[in-house]
Structure 1
Amino acid sequence: MSDDADADNTERTAPVRGKRPAQGEPVIDRAFSILHSFDPSHRHLGLNELSRRAGLPVSSTLRIARQLMSWGALERDEHGRFCIGVRLYELAASAPRGHGIRNVALPFLHDLAEATRQHVLLAVRDGHEAILLERISDHQAMPVLYHVGGRLPLHSTGVGLALLAFESSQFRESYLSRSLVRMPEQQPVDATQLRRLIAEIRREKSVIFRRRVPTPILSVAAPVWGADEQLAGAISVVVPDDGYDPRRLLPALQTSSKSLSRVLGAGLPAVPPGDE
């Protein structure tokens, strides 16, 4: 029996009045488990697959999915499969750290993209990862791994390293105390070497990062500062690593990062915050 048939049968038999379960996860946690089941490879999910990916019973998945649909957070396509609703995009657009900085940064990102004809990225930190807010790509640009709205590792991407290096020393030490794996190579990271790299990035106020797989890339990145000299995000340029001299990219990148920082209200301190 297909997921769609299961969904129809469950809809006829499952109770629609939901109360907080007597035990287990709160309803809001279950709702986020359902929403986090979707990703770029799973944009449309039948009920059974949604239940499996969320780790919830089918009846609970259906009940909560209906509630999310009533708020516009989920929708159903012509085949009855669930997908993310546009209401979530509307809400996400109100996030000051996301939509706000993105709108201000767009002219600078377009200038960089025009100069490089490859990829220009804007990201902010969220917990132990970076979130890609915008990526402007030329139609002839090389393939890249990360999509807008996706999460990037801080320690193995250029824009992630720019964020990690200029966070507080307390955050950096907490991050470096974890067991880290370089992505996508799945290779263990030497914390001592990573500390040396971070120290170099802080001295130079920019990142030069190379990755060999799945295709050789060169990423040059720089931090972006906001009001009160707070780290607001980071921008990067990603090009094929085929003999391209990163020093050709740095002047334009640093000019853009400084200009964007000033627009965001930064005074650009000579010594970056975090050197307690």
Structure 2
Amino acid sequence: MTARVLDVLGAFTAATPELSLTEISRRTGLPLTTTHRLVGELAAWGALERGEGGLYRVGLRLWEVGALAPRGLGLRERAMPYLEDLHEVTRENVQLAVLDGAEVVYVERLAARDAVSIRSRAGSRLPATATGVGLALLAHADPEHVEKVLAAPFRRFTERTLTEPDRVRHLLGEVRRTGVAISEQQIEMVSQSVGAPIRAGQGRVVAALSIVVPIEANPHAYVPAVLAAARGISRALGASALATQP
């Protein structure tokens, strides 16, 4: 029963946020009668909502439950003042993310009207090896976990997306040395990101932030501001000043 409910919820994606009963049935492989019953129960609880056209979408009740996740809620609350400062100073896209397996989950994103377009949004996922936040997180992750990530197939977004494990290993070494990750044209050819790790008590890396800027910009010009924001959030999470140094 639980697996079927999760299958129904998993049928919705960023590309297909609204689905009919028939589409949900086809995507999940469940009989239409079963789909009708499960969708009805989820809608009654608030996990799904039915629009005017008869299509279903994810309901606000799921957002309310998801906001209780400890890695998202406390982190976001402490990080927001620093994210807003970074956004205000640069007028570029600013992101906050955590590592989940081989992907990063974006906890927050502040978008600027005239900034370069980006794929991420709050709650979305992208491969860790192709993002500034992901590289910042993998650089400080358990080596066994990193090797597991590098052993899996790589998803290519552009001709610049890294797909060779050795190149990723080299880049992760540079991130550890400099304290900052620069990911150029891996997700979009028009943009690049500058990311830095965020630490909590005892210096443990728990998240990362990044700024996404046009490819024409000099990414190194943003490094001081990104590092300052990451250190501020780290101190707010209980990390010592020494622990936040590269």
Give the superposition deviation at 1:97: 0.5
1:119 corresponding residue in structure 2 = 93
* Shift in alpha-carbon separation, 1:63–1:33, aligned structure 2, 3 A: same
1:133 corresponding residue in structure 2 = 107
**1:21-70 CA deviation, whole Å, 9 max, x = no partner?**
xxxxxx11111111111122222211101111222221111111122122
1:167 corresponding residue in structure 2 = 141
**1:128-163 CA deviation, whole Å, 9 max, x = no partner?**
211111111111111112222110110011111111
* Shift in alpha-carbon separation, 1:92–1:184, aligned structure 2, 3 A: farther
C-alpha distance in 1 between matches for 2:158 and 2:34: 35
2:81 corresponding residue in structure 1 = 107
Structure 2 letter corresponding to 1:183: F
Question: 1:202 is matched with which residue: 169, 172, 176?
Answer: 176
1:191 corresponding residue in structure 2 = 165
C-alpha distance in 1 between matches for 2:161 and 2:235: 38
Aligned residues: 245
2:205 corresponding residue in structure 1 = 231
C-alpha distance in 2 between matches for 1:161 and 1:56: 38
159-168 vs 210-219, which moves further: 210-219
Structure 2 letter corresponding to 1:81: L
C-alpha distance in 1 between matches for 2:235 and 2:162: 38
Structure 2 letter corresponding to 1:253: V
C-alpha distance in 1 between matches for 2:215 and 2:245: 31
Q: Is the 8 A contact 1:130 1:153 kept in 2?
A: yes
Structure 2 letter corresponding to 1:221: G
**1:178-197 CA deviation, whole Å, 9 max, x = no partner?**
23233344967111111111
* Shift in alpha-carbon separation, 1:224–1:188, aligned structure 2, 3 A: closer
1:256 corresponding residue in structure 2 = 229
* Shift in alpha-carbon separation, 1:251–1:270, aligned structure 2, 3 A: closer
254-263 vs 221-230, which moves further: 221-230
1:96 corresponding residue in structure 2 = 70
Structure 1 letter corresponding to 2:229: S
C-alpha distance in 2 between matches for 1:119 and 1:271: 24
* Shift in alpha-carbon separation, 1:214–1:134, aligned structure 2, 3 A: same
Q: Any gaps of 5 or more consecutive residues in structure 2? A: none
Give the superposition deviation at 1:119: 0.4
* Shift in alpha-carbon separation, 1:222–1:62, aligned structure 2, 3 A: same
* Shift in alpha-carbon separation, 1:155–1:188, aligned structure 2, 3 A: closer
Give the superposition deviation at 1:271: 8.3
2:32 corresponding residue in structure 1 = 58
* Shift in alpha-carbon separation, 1:81–1:213, aligned structure 2, 3 A: closer
SS in 1 for 2:16: coil
SS in 1 for 2:61: helix
Q: Is the 8 A contact 1:226 1:265 kept in 2?
A: yes
SS in 2 for 1:257: helix
- Could you say what the CA RMSD is over the residues aligned between the two structures, in angstroms? 1.9
Shift >6 Å, 4+ stretches = none
Structure 2 letter corresponding to 1:107: P
1:5 corresponding residue in structure 2 = none
* Shift in alpha-carbon separation, 1:213–1:73, aligned structure 2, 3 A: closer
Give the superposition deviation at 1:270: 7.0
C-alpha distance in 2 between matches for 1:40 and 1:212: 20
Tell me the percent identity. 38
Radius of gyration: which is bigger? 1
Give the superposition deviation at 1:115: 1.4
* Shift in alpha-carbon separation, 1:263–1:57, aligned structure 2, 3 A: same
SS in 2 for 1:249: helix
C-alpha distance in 1 between matches for 2:201 and 2:49: 39
1:216 corresponding residue in structure 2 = 190
